């Protein structure tokens, strides 16, 4: 029987569904105690049920700085310091630049850039002290290219990749790695919402909209959430990979 006192601790944000659920399940199967956070208690319960190991369900708003501090305090009180942070929580918005409101712009920055920054800032001191830690941010191929109608989302993802690269350079000699995984269009609820938006704005059928997104990947299909989780686990297990934005996009964007 495993000694729970020596089992490493992972935190997955946006763990209620999609990529976050797959990553949490994989980390749990790999022997981590996994703290799960998202807004929905029901979604988190579903993720916890898929994890073979011990989980800690901590619902809340990751964009609230007070919640981030409390989240880490609760994990540390229960299990000790976080060894692996997977900053997965995120969202998108579609609008032309001139139709993007201040509220939409700020929401993208708050969730996709500032929340990972706060989680990273809180996680690093203990990782550096222990001379071991892994941070993986789920970014997007939008961190590397620009496409029309997603300026706020793209700006936030470009920003978070810059954060990853700078943080990785700071801690490279201290046993801590910081990476981003940059998926294309993944078969998740977030993409389902994108499909609905295309249908509403263009009048295309749902199948036409989904096919249009699938065709953006040269492999001709959506990426699976398990394929993204594979890349996350590579970053967790390989200490020589750091400061990278690893594309999981079917060959759509040159690295």
Model's pTM, two decimal places?
A: 0.94
pLDDT along the chain (255 residues), means of 10: 70 98 98 98 98 98 98 98 98 95 98 98 98 98 95 98 98 98 92 88 90 92 96 98 98 88
Q: Which is it for strands 55-57 and 133-138: parallel, antiparallel or unpaired?
A: unpaired
Distance separating alpha carbons of residues 116 and 20, to the nearest angstrom: 14
Residue whose entry in the numeric block shows the structure tokens 């700078």: 166
Q: Is residue 105 part of a domain?
A: yes
pLDDT of residue 6: 78
Q: Is 207 exposed, middle or buried (0-12, 13-18, 19+ CB in 10 A)?
A: exposed
Name the domain count of the chain: 2
Whether 253 is in a domain gets the answer: no
Pair 153, 217 in one domain: no
Looking at the structure, do residues 190 and 106 belong to the same domain, yes or no?
Answer: no
Q: Are residues 127 and 229 in the same domain?
A: yes
Distance, CA of 198 to CA of 208 (rounded, Å): 9
Distance (Å) of CA 198 to CA 60, 78, 95, 174, 202: 30, 44, 11, 46, 6
Is residue 197 assigned to a domain? yes
Do residues 149 and 204 both lie within one domain? no
Tell me, what CATH number does 232's domain have?
A: 3.40.50.720
Answer whether residue 137 is part of any domain. Answer: yes
- Characterize the bridge pairing of strands 176-183 and 133-138: parallel
What pLDDT is stored for residue 1 in this prediction?
A: 34
In a domain, 228, yes or no: yes
Full domain range(s) for residue 212: 185-222
193 lies in the same domain as 146:
no
Cβ contact 164:200 at 8 Å: no
| 160 strand-pairing partners | none
Question: Residues 141, 176: one domain?
Answer: yes
Catalytic residues: 153
Cα→Cα distances 68→37, 64, 76, 101, 166, Å? 10, 7, 12, 26, 21
- Residue 34 inside a domain? The answer is yes
């Amino acid at each position: 029987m495993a000694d729970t006192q020596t089992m490493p601790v992972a935190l997955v944000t946006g763990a209620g569904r999609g990529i976050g659920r797959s990553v949490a399940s994989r980390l749990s199967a790999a022997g981590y105690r996994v703290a799960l956070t998202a807004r929905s208690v029901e979604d988190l319960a579903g993720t916890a049920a898929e994890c073979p190991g011990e989980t800690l369900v901590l619902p809340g708003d990751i964009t609230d700085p007070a919640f981030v501090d409390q989240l880490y305090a609760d994990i540390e009180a229960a299990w000790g310091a976080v060894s692996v942070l997977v900053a997965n929580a995120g969202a998108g918005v579609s609008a032309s630049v001139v139709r993007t409101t201040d509220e939409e712009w700020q929401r993208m920055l708050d969730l996709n850039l500032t929340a990972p920054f706060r989680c990273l800032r809180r996680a690093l001191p203990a990782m550096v002290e222990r001379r071991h830690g892994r941070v993986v941010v789920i970014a997007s191929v939008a961190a590397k290219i620009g496409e029309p109608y997603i300026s706020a989302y793209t700006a936030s993802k470009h920003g978070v990749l810059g954060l990853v690269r700078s943080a990785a350079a700071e801690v490279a000699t201290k046993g801590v790695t910081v990476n981003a995984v940059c998926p294309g269009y993944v078969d998740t609820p977030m993409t389902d919402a994108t499909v609905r938006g295309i249908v509403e704005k263009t009048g295309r059928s749902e199948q036409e909209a989904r096919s249009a997104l699938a065709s953006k990947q040269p492999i001709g299909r959506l990426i699976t959430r398990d394929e993204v989780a594979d890349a996350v686990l590579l970053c967790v297990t390989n200490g020589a990979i750091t400061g990278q934005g690893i594309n999981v996009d079917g060959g759509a964007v040159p690295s």
